[in-house]
Amino acid sequence: MSSRRSTSVIAIGAVGLLALAGCSGGNSANTGGDSSGSDSLVIDTAFSIETADPGHTYDPTGNMIAKALYETLVDFEGSDVSTPVPGLASWEQNDAATEFTFTLEGDRVFSDGTPIEAKDVVFTLQRIQGMTEAKPNFLLGGLTIAEVDEKTVSITSETPLLQLPAILANPALGIVNSDVVIENGGSIDGSDSAQAFLDGESAGSGPYTLDTLDLSSQVVLTKSDEYDGDEEAGYDRVVVRNVSESATQLANLKGGDSMVAMDLNGDQVAGLGDGLQVDSVPSGQTIFLLLNQSSAVAGDLANVKIAEAIRYALDYDALLELAGSGAVQATGVIPPGFEGALETGVEQDLEKSKAALAEAGYTGQTLKLQFPNDYPVGGVEFTPLAERVQAQLEDAGIAVELAPAPFATELDAYVNGTEGFGLWFWGPDYADSANFLPFAPGLKVGLRSGWAAEANPEIAGIAAGAAAATDEAQRSEAFTAFAEAMQAEGPFVPLIVPGRNIATADAVSGAVYNSVWEMDIAEITPAG
């Protein structure tokens, strides 16, 4: 075994983060009780949550709630997600990055005062492994989890897994009180029925506990009296409200009815006025075009050179105008800030575009651009973006027909690989560049574009090397090589990394955006 690590062996690229001076004060309408002043925090966001059970949650709002209620073995420090740090445990690993040993630190307790033990860690992770229908299940694929003693857990991977510490920081893997959950239907054999219980009360060790959960209107949290960690709750009560319209979020914030607004667009944050603050950063998501390489789907347009022609035909600065505050050009399939991301993106070059079209044998065929027209990403509406792409490509001699459809309809076409030319987006499941390897030929997103491994064995090999790397430097080099090769020869055209805007009143501090758990509620405190 290598020496004990208090951080991961990998330097993971920092996801765009937002350290805000935020806000408190004002009224707390719809909080269902006497929660005003510094005792209460009101947050408005558009809900994306299905449950308060961490083992089933995998939605932005759900992850944020789970982060407040449950603690993970591994964490990130403040606004820095470049390097995992100990959460409930420190860890060691072998040189092959296949064997990890986690040791629980201190004498931490759950919200009912009982100690956190290795059995709770093992049950938590094995429970998720047993629930094959649970969204976070894939995070633990290929892992063997076992108790060594009451303070120690071993996790063994079938393949090198340098990103395991980053994976274990996902709020969906928050450690639950095994005794309580088992008493209320929890199991590891796939017959688990504890979700209903965990939607009514929490069984974690986080700084907050669950008061009430209403998936359509609000989630109310209360300060945990037993919490003995480093992130003491700044408020006795937190109300997270479902406010789907960003205009209403803005009105609530300006009127003092809320303290944090999480979903304002670039135009809304341009001039908030006195007493309100906002900062804007790139998110971890990438909006991109895909060109299907299956002749059964795209016919004679299944040519990677057409993707190259489109890549150089576009005016990225003009596209970025539609994205608003915080957004940046996507420099490749790995977004800026992640390990291996390219420093600069493609610049428009119409001569290169024409040359690529000629090499592809393009003779004016129309490309049908499919995209969801009712699902903005980071404030970016897809319809005006698609219209601008269409206009720019037509100026470059590429005929484009727009084919918008509702998200639910278009998602099936995208996932099933039946889109010839699509406009879509991709975001990380955890803070590591391994999230973007699925763009490789033969992997998930590559196959959605009809790009088999044999279509480009070189890039497939680079991706496989990055996934199997056990050396930090080699891994970083492999990610960079992957990003460079994808920009040169891939069927994808990365366009925009949308911004994320979180606005606050000036009486609160510590609201920090995170691409995995949205915001750590426990870090938000009254200013000063």
pLDDT tens digits, 470-506: 988 999 999 999 999 999 999 999 999 998 889 999 9
Q: According to the model, what pLDDT value does residue 364 have?
A: 96
> Tokens at residue 33, please?
């009780």
Residue type, 249: Q
The answer to whether 76 and 216 have CB atoms below 8 angstroms apart is no
pLDDT band at 228 (very low <50, low <70, confident <90, very high): very high
The answer to whether 284 and 427 have CB atoms below 8 angstroms apart is yes
Chain centre distance of CA 90: 24
417 sits in the region (left: phi over 0; alpha: psi -120 to 50; else beta) called left
Q: Name the 3-class secondary structure at 135.
A: helix
Q: According to the model, what pLDDT value does residue 79 have?
A: 63
What φ, ψ does residue 232 adopt, rounded to 5°? -65, 135
Sole residue written with tokens 């890549």: 311
- Round to whole Å and give the CA distance between 213 and 198: 10
The dihedral over CA atoms of 251, 254, 260, 261, expressed in degrees to the nearest 10, equals 30
Q: According to the model, what pLDDT value does residue 38 have?
A: 58
- Round to whole Å and give the CA distance between 296 and 420: 9
410-465, pLDDT tens digit by residue? 999 999 999 999 999 998 888 899 999 999 999 999 999 999 999 999 999 999 99
pLDDT band at 81 (very low <50, low <70, confident <90, very high): confident
The sign of the CA dihedral 197, 146, 93, 105 is positive
DSSP state of 109: B
Segment 317-328 shows an average pLDDT of: 91
More confident residue, 155 or 28: 155
pLDDT at 37 over 70: no
The dihedral over CA atoms of 96, 147, 189, 213, expressed in degrees to the nearest 10, equals -100
pLDDT at 28 over 90: no
- The DSSP bridge partners found for residue 5 are 91
The answer to whether 202 and 140 have CB atoms below 8 angstroms apart is no
Count of other CB atoms within 10 angstroms of residue 136: 23
The answer to whether 287 and 423 have CB atoms below 8 angstroms apart is yes
Rounded to 5°, angle at Cα 209 from 135 and 116: 80
Segment 60-84 shows an average pLDDT of: 89
pLDDT band at 207 (very low <50, low <70, confident <90, very high): very high
pLDDT at 4 over 60: no
Q: According to the model, what pLDDT value does residue 42 have?
A: 98
Mean predicted lDDT score pLDDT of the chain? 90
- Round to whole Å and give the CA distance between 120 and 147: 9
Per-position DSSP letters for 344-369, written without gaps between them? S-----HHHHHHHHHHHT--SPEEEE
- Length, in residues, of the chain: 528
More confident residue, 67 or 77: 67
Domains observed in the chain: 18-280+501-526 (3.40.190.10), 286-497 (3.10.105.10)
Q: According to the model, what pLDDT value does residue 513 have?
A: 86
291-309, pLDDT tens digit by residue? 999 999 999 999 999 999 9
- Round to whole Å and give the CA distance between 19 and 76: 14
Rounded to 5°, angle at Cα 435 from 430 and 441: 165
Write a three-state SS string for 217-249: CEEEEEECCCCCCCCCCCCCEEEEEECCCHHHH
The dihedral over CA atoms of 53, 56, 59, 64, expressed in degrees to the nearest 10, equals 30
Rounded to 5°, angle at Cα 489 from 485 and 491: 120
Count of other CB atoms within 10 angstroms of residue 270: 12
Q: According to the model, what pLDDT value does residue 205 have?
A: 98
